[in-house]
Amino acid sequence: MGLFSFVKSVGEKLFGASEAKAATADELKKEVAKHGLNADGLNIAVDGDKVSVSGTAMSQADAEKIILALGNTIGVAQVDSQLVSKQAEPESRMYTVKAGDNLSKISKAMYGNPNHYNEIFEANKPLLKHPDKIYPGQVLRIPALG
């Protein structure tokens, strides 16, 4: 899939992790599992602030959510994804949340219509628990409208 960039100083703070100390591969695997995400042969390796991930996900959406679960973690600046999906689907665009953003504003910018905010919310579940709970620096999936 490629190399994805994230804001190293924002995101989920894993137990004992800080920007200065990157999360371990085992901690990141637990973070992925916490969201109910999985891939056959999931392999995660950490090299400083870069995380490499490989395996076979059930869908393109699952693969992208795994990337986001890893990248939206404090201390992670890049995710090198070699994930493949069992189902061929178009890749989503990625959007980095800016200060003052909300899902309606992002929907207007990405789709030209603020009323598609729920599609963005649904595309980022279970990583998002509530449509109003986004933060600057967070990266979100923006799927094509169906």
CB 79 within 8 A of CB 3: yes
pLDDT, tens digit (0-9, with 9 covering 90-100), for 89-139: 889 999 999 999 999 999 999 999 999 999 999 999 999 999 999 999 999
Report the pLDDT value the prediction gives residue 24, as an integer from 0 to 100.
92
pLDDT at 20 over 80: no
**What residues does 43 pair with on adjacent strands?**
54
Domains of the chain, CATH where assigned: 2-85 (3.30.1340), 93-142 (3.10.350.10)
Report the pLDDT value the prediction gives residue 21, as an integer from 0 to 100.
65
Mean pLDDT of the chain: 91
Euclidean distance between CA atoms 146 and 133, whole angstroms: 25
pLDDT-derived band at 10, boundaries 50, 70, 90: confident
Q: pTM higher than 0.75, yes or no? A: yes
